[in-house]
């Protein structure tokens, strides 16, 4: 596999120690959080945990965010923690904000987070936060467009096994959102629920010109050959390494890539250069 100058992980979650310690209380306050917290594979991590993991696995830069709660007040609380963390580790972490798209104070919260150093919006959860990609993100899209922010949204495959957190928003909804917002830098998490395969259709590829896909939870969902499928469909240059840490360690992904093996240039794009383009990092 390639040895990129840096490995960039675009999909990690951290929470304040206070929320982790009072997990039971927060599970009562958010149905979606409760569903994920009850999973046998669920894990929690603080900022210190993330930094230690990065040193252990060789990840140079991580995009990190909290949890997309339905309550905008909880989102703001975790956004504050992300902002504090990024100020501690400005060379290692890029902070994204989680917001509630229906929040009457959405514009104010985004402005506050930008002033505190956060550089993107996500990961947003359509089912958990009660919105559809069919029109439910119009305000968020407008804000991202005006502020030049990248957007990361949870999207699921609509076939296969059931699991906690598997939502109803799949490739069709994601494509419709991208079609309505062709100028936005969008990352559809979890391989976009398989949307990338449809880039074999020329008219779809043109609509998805600014769309990226991350690999979050890939070892739970796909065989290693999914990377080859992305290459064949002509969009390996838009695949972003995302570990979904602490759900999975980056090592699980490196093992998948090594098992192919992934061509050196493809690995370089997935592990570093594509993320630089998505994030606007020189």
Query: How far is 255 from 182, CA to CA, in rounded Å?
Result: 34
Task: Take residue 261 and report the two structure tokens written for it.
Answer: 């093996």
Query: How far is 282 from 276, CA to CA, in rounded Å?
Result: 6
| pLDDT of res. 4 | 55
**Of 89, 74, 94, which is closest to residue 34 (Cα–Cα)?**
74
The total number of residues shown for the chain amounts to 282
| pLDDT of res. 2 | 46
pLDDT in tens, 113-160: 999 999 999 999 999 999 999 999 999 999 999 999 999 999 999 999
Q: Which residues of the chain have pLDDT under 50?
A: 2
**Of 193, 178, 189, which is closest to residue 154 (Cα–Cα)?**
189
Q: Using CA of residue 212, residue 217, residue 221, residue 225, what is the dihedral sign?
A: positive
As a three-state string, the secondary structure of 241-259 is CCCCECCCCHHHHHHHHHH
β-strand partners of 65: 13
Cα radius of gyration (the chain): 17
């Amino acid at each position: 596999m390639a040895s990129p100058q840096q490995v960039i992980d675009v999909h990690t979650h951290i929470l304040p120690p206070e929320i982790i310690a009072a997990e039971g209380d927060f599970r009562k306050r958010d149905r979606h959080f409760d569903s994920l917290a009850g999973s046998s594979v669920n894990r929690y991590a603080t900022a210190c945990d993330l930094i230690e993991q990065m040193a252990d696995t060789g990840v140079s830069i991580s995009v990190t965010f909290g949890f997309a709660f339905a309550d905008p007040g909880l989102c703001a609380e975790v956004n504050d923690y992300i902002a504090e963390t990024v100020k501690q580790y400005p060379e290692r972490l890029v902070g994204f904000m989680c917001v509630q798209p229906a929040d009457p104070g959405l514009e104010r919260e985004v402005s506050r987070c930008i002033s505190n150093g956060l550089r993107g919006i996500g990961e947003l959860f359509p089912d958990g936060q009660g919105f559809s990609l069919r029109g439910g993100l119009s305000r968020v899209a407008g804000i991202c467009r005006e502020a030049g922010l990248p957007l990361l949204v949870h999207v699921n495959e609509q076939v296969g096994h059931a699991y906690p957190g598997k939502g109803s928003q799949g490739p069709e909804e994601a494509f419709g959102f991208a079609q309505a917002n062709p100028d936005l830098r969008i990352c559809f998490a979890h391989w976009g629920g398989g949307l990338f395969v449809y880039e074999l259709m020329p008219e779809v590829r043109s609509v998805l010109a600014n769309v990226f896909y991350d690999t979050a939870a890939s070892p739970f969902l796909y065989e290693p050959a999914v990377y080859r499928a992305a290459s064949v469909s002509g969009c390996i240059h838009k695949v972003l390494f995302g570990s979904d840490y602490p759900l999975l360690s980056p090592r699980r992904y490196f093992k998948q890539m090594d098992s192919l093996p992934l061509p050196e240039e493809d690995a370089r794009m997935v592990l570093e250069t594509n993320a630089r383009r998505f994030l606007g990092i020189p």
